[in-house]
Chain A
Amino acid sequence: MVSAAFSDSIIRYAAWTGLAMLVLIVLMLFQVARLRYALRDRAEQEKHFLELWRPLLMQELSGIRTPLPQLKSGEEEPFLKLWNHLQDTLRGPAHQYLNDVAVRCGMAEHAQRLLRQGGLRSKLLGLATLGHLGEHSVWNEIVEMTRDPDSILSMAALGSLLKIDAPQALRELLPRMIEREDWPVAQLAILIEEAGEHSSFSFLMDAAERMESASEPEELARLRRALHLLEVVPPQKALPVVRHIMKSATDEEVLAQCLRFLIEPSDLPEVRRMTEHAAWAVRLQAAQALSRIGSLEDVPVLSKLLGDPVWWVRYRSAQALVSLARGDGAVLDRIREQIDDRLGRDMLTMAMVEGGKT
C-alpha cells in the first residue's frame, strides 16, 4: 500500500534509522557486558592483590624489610590506592617505611608518568603519591597544575605541594589561595592544618595584615578569605593582626569575622561597642563574643539585644545570657523578669530550656 502521508524516501529513512538504532543498542549492550566483566575482573584482581600485598606492607611497616615481588601490569593502581590509604591513616616513622617501599617498587617514577600521561583519575593518584613521597623534582610541574581551571585537580596539586614543602608552597601560593574563589576556604584551611607547618601562621598573618586597608569589593573578598584561613592559627597568635584589621575595617562581614577571634577580656570595650553596630551580623558576633569573654556586667547590654529586630541576634544574646549566668536559674529568672519586651522574654525562656536551666 502506498502511504499518502509519508513519502517513500522518508519511510525508507525512518526504517534505516530504526535499524541503525537497533545496531547501536546491540553495541551498547556489549559495552554494558564488557564494563561488567571488567568490573568483576578488576575486583577479583584487587582481591588477590590485597591478599598478597597487605601483609607485605604491614610487615614493612613494622620495620622488617623483605624482598618484594614485582608488581604485575594493572596492579599499579590498586597498589597506589592501598599505599596512599595507609599513608593517610598512619603516623610517625611509618611514612618513611612506606616511601621506601614505593621507591623499591618503582612507584615514584610511575607516579610521575601518571602526572604527565594520565587522565584526571591518574593525575589525582599521581599527585597524592608524589605529595607523600615529598618528590621535589616535579615541583614546577605541580605548580603549573595549580593553575588548572579544574578546581579538583588544582586543589589536589596544591595539597601535594603542601606535603612536599609547606613553607615554600605557602610562600609561592598563598596569594593564589586567597585569589581563587573556586578553592573552598574550608578545604584550604584543612590542607594548611594537615601540613602541620607552624611557620605557615606567619605567612597567613602577614597576608591578612597586608590587606587591612582593603576597600574595593575584590580586595574585601580577598581579605575575607584571608581571615577565614587565619582561623587555623591559634587565636592568641592571630589576635594582634585581627585587632589591627578591626581598627580600620568598615566592612560588616570583615568586622563580624574579626569578632569571632576575640577571646580576651581586654577586648570587651570594642565588643560592647559593636553591639550597637548597624549590621545585624556584627551585633550577632558581638553577642557571641560576650558569651565567651563577658561578665554579669554585660547583662544590660545583652538584655537590650534581646529586643533586637533580628531573631538570630536575640537568640545568640539569650544564649550568651544563659552562658554568663553559668546555670544559675535564679539569676536568669531575675533577668527575665526585668525584660519588658515579650519577644525577648520568650527568647530567653527558650534558651533556658535548651540549656537545661529551667
Chain B
Amino acid sequence: MSPQTTDLLIVIQWGFLFYFAALNTGYLILNVVSFFNIRHYMDAQVLSELPRTYTAFKPPISILVPAYNEEATITASVRSLLQLAYDQFEVIVINDGSKDDTLEALRREFQLEPFPEAYWVKLPTQPVRAIWRSRIHPNLRVIDKDNGGKADALNAGINASRYPLFCAVDADSVLQRNSLQLIVEPFIEDSRTIAAGGTIRIVNGCTVKEGFLVSVGLPEKWLPLLQIVEYLRAFLFGRMGWSALNAMLVISGAFGLFRKTSVIEVGGYRTGTVGEDMELVVRLHRHHRKRRIPYRIVFVPNPICWTEAPESLAVLKAQRVRWQRGLSESLSMNMGLLFSGNGGWISWGAFPFTLLFEWFGVFVELAGYVFMIAGFGLGIVSGQALFAFALVSVALGVLLSVSALVLEEMSFHLYPRYSDLARLFLAAVLENFGYRQMILYWRFIGMLRWMFGPEGHWGAMPRSASWQSRL
C-alpha cells in the first residue's frame, strides 16, 4: 500500500473516531441533563397529585385539526376532542380540500350549519370556501378551504381561532382527557412560554375506547415495537435534554400548544414544506433569539398524545423519507441560527448537534458502513477491526435505548408487565441488526429527495387503526 493511501486511511480513521466521540459525548450530556431534569419533574409532581384547582385561570385554547381525506376517522376524532377535560376551548377542523366526504361526514355527525364568520386574514392562505358551525356543539367550527397543504390548513385555523393559545392536533391523534390541562401548565407557570410539546407515544397494542386510551400495551408486531424504542429514546432523553436548555428544536405536529401572537409574529406555518412542525419551532427560536425577546419552548414529559406507528415497511419508509426532508428543510431555512451571537444553547448546542449528527450524519454513518464493509472486502480492514467497531456500534445503540428505559422506569413506567420490559429490551438489541441500517438508508433517500425532489405536500399516512377495533 502506498504511503499516500496509508495517510488517507489514517485521516479517515481519525475522522470517524472524532465523529463517533463527539456524537457520544453529546448523547452522554443529553442523558445526564435528562436524568436530572426528569427527576426534578417527578419530584415536583408530588404536589400536583394533591387536589388543587387552577381552573379559573387557565387560558382558553383553540384546537386546530387539519384534515385531508379523513372521512373514515374524522368524526370519531372530533367527538373525542369535544370531550376533553378543559374549561374553555373550541375545536376548529380545517378541511383542506379533501377529495373524499370528510366535510359531509362532519356535517351529518355534528349538524353543521353555515356560519357568517367575520374571517380575519392574519396569515395568507388558499381561499376559504365556507365556514360551518355545529348546532349541537357551538364550540365546534369547520373551515372548508381549497387544498393548500397541512401548513396552509393550520394557518387558516389560526386565522379563525379566537383564543390566545392554539393546539395543533393531527386528526388521528389519541389524546388523554387531561391532555390540555397538562400541556397548558408551562404557559401558566411562566408567561415567557411560547410553545409546548408533550411526549408522543405509540398507540399500537394499546386499547382505545371512544377516542381515549384506556390501557397501555405493546404491539404483537415487531415493526411498531421497534418504533416504540425509538420514540422512548427520542422523547425521554432527546427532547427532555434539549428542553432543559431551552433548545428543543421540534414539537411534534401530532400535538403541540402555541402562543398565537408569537406564531403570527413569525408569519405562521411555512407552506410548501413537509416538516412544517419542526420548521415553525426552529423559526420561533431564530426570531426570538435575533430580537433578544425572552421566551421558552418547553417539553412536557407526560405521555399526553398517542399516535399510530406504521405497521408496514412501505408506510414506514414514506414517513422516514418525509421526516428527513422535513429536517433538511427546517435546518436549511434557518441557518441564521447556527453559531449566532445571542443564540445560547440553541445556536451553539442543539442546532449544530442536529446539523452534524442527524442531518449530515446520514452521510457519515452511511460512509462508515460502506468504508468498513468495502474495506473488509478489499482487505484493508481486518476481521478484528470490523468486529470491534461493530461491537461498539451495537453496544452504543443498545446502551442509549436502555438508558431511555431507565428514564421511563424513573418516570411514568407505562408498560406494566415484566414481559413488556423484556420485549422492549429485546427490541433495543434487535433494532441494531438491520432496522437502524434500513432507517439510515431511508433517511439518505430523504436527503436526496430534499436536494433533487419536487416540493412537499400532505404527508398522508395509511392507518391500520387496529387499536380502534378494540372498542
B191 in the interface (beta carbon within 8 A): yes
Central interface residue in A4, A17, A189, by most chain B CB within 10 Å: A4
A163 in the interface (beta carbon within 8 A): no
> CB distance B392 to A18 under 8 Å?
yes
A84 in the interface (beta carbon within 8 A): yes
Considering only residues 2-30 of chain B, those with a C-beta below 8 Å from chain A are 6, 9, 12-13, 17
> CB distance B409 to A36 under 8 Å?
yes
A320 in the interface (beta carbon within 8 A): no
> CB distance A346 to B118 under 8 Å?
yes
Contact status of A14 and B51, CB under 8 A, knowing A4-B6, A25-B395, A120-B40: no
Considering only residues 1-46 of chain A, those with a C-beta below 8 Å from chain B are 1-6, 10-12, 14-15, 17-19, 21-22, 24-25, 28-29, 31-33, 35-36, 39
Distance in Å: Cβ of B429 to nearest Cβ of chain A: 9
A241 in the interface (beta carbon within 8 A): no
> CB distance A21 to B395 under 8 Å?
yes
B115 in the interface (beta carbon within 8 A): yes
Chain B residues near A35 (CB-CB < 8 A): 406, 409-410, 413
> CB distance B43 to A15 under 8 Å?
no
Tell me, in angstroms, the Cα distance from A350 to B267 when the chains sit together: 26
Considering only residues 346-402 of chain B, those with a C-beta below 8 Å from chain A are 371, 375, 379-385, 387-389, 391-392, 394-396, 398-399, 402
Q: Who on chain A is nearest to B398 by CB? A: A25
Distance in Å: Cβ of B83 to nearest Cβ of chain A: 22
Tell me, in angstroms, the Cα distance from A22 to B428 when the chains sit together: 13
> CB distance B385 to A36 under 8 Å?
no
Q: Who on chain A is nearest to B381 by CB? A: A5
How many chain-B residues does the 8 Å CB contact rule pick out? Answer: 60
A186 in the interface (beta carbon within 8 A): yes
A contact face: mostly helix, strand, loop, or mixed: helix
Distance in Å: Cβ of A266 to nearest Cβ of chain B: 28
Tell me, in angstroms, the Cα distance from A156 to B189 when the chains sit together: 13
Chain A residues near B383 (CB-CB < 8 A): 1
B295 in the interface (beta carbon within 8 A): no
> CB distance A81 to B406 under 8 Å?
no
B293 in the interface (beta carbon within 8 A): no
Q: Which of A101-109, A121-129, A166-174 contacts its partner?
A: A121-129
Contact status of A314 and B118, CB under 8 A, knowing A5-B380, A29-B402: yes
Tally the A-B contacts, defined by beta carbons under 8 Å: 161
Distance in Å: Cβ of A9 to nearest Cβ of chain B: 11
Chain A residues near B391 (CB-CB < 8 A): 14-15, 18-19, 22
Chain A residues near B398 (CB-CB < 8 A): 21, 25
Distance in Å: Cβ of A23 to nearest Cβ of chain B: 9
Chain B residues near A156 (CB-CB < 8 A): 47
Binary contact readout A177-194 vs B (1 if CB under 8 angstroms, 0 otherwise): 000011011110110000
Considering only residues 337-358 of chain A, those with a C-beta below 8 Å from chain B are 343, 346-347, 349-350, 353-354
Q: Who on chain B is nearest to A27 by CB? A: B402
Chain A residues near B399 (CB-CB < 8 A): 21, 24-25, 28
A315 in the interface (beta carbon within 8 A): yes
Chain B residues near A28 (CB-CB < 8 A): 399, 402-403, 405-406
B46 in the interface (beta carbon within 8 A): yes
> CB distance B382 to A32 under 8 Å?
no
Contact status of A5 and B43, CB under 8 A, knowing A32-B409, A35-B409: no
Tell me, in angstroms, the Cα distance from A293 to B340 when the chains sit together: 52
Binary contact readout B298-325 vs A (1 if CB under 8 angstroms, 0 otherwise): 0000000000000000000000000000
Chain B residues near A269 (CB-CB < 8 A): none
Distance in Å: Cβ of A237 to nearest Cβ of chain B: 19
Distance in Å: Cβ of B44 to nearest Cβ of chain A: 5
B1 in the interface (beta carbon within 8 A): yes
Contact status of A186 and B57, CB under 8 A, knowing A121-B43, A156-B47, A343-B118: yes
> CB distance A11 to B385 under 8 Å?
yes
> CB distance B188 to A5 under 8 Å?
no
Q: Which residues of A contact B (CB under 8 A)?
A: 1-6, 10-12, 14-15, 17-19, 21-22, 24-25, 28-29, 31-33, 35-36, 39, 81, 84-85, 88-89, 119-121, 124-125, 128, 151-152, 156, 181-182, 184-187, 189-190, 311, 314-315, 343, 346-347, 349-350, 353-354
Known: A2-B382, A35-B413. 7 other contacts (CB 8 A): A3-B382, A18-B394, A22-B395, A182-B190, A184-B190, A184-B191, A190-B56
5 contacts between A and B (CB under 8 A): A5-B13, A11-B382, A32-B421, A33-B421, A124-B43
Cβ-closest 5 pairs across A and B: A18-B391, A186-B57, A3-B382, A21-B395, A121-B43
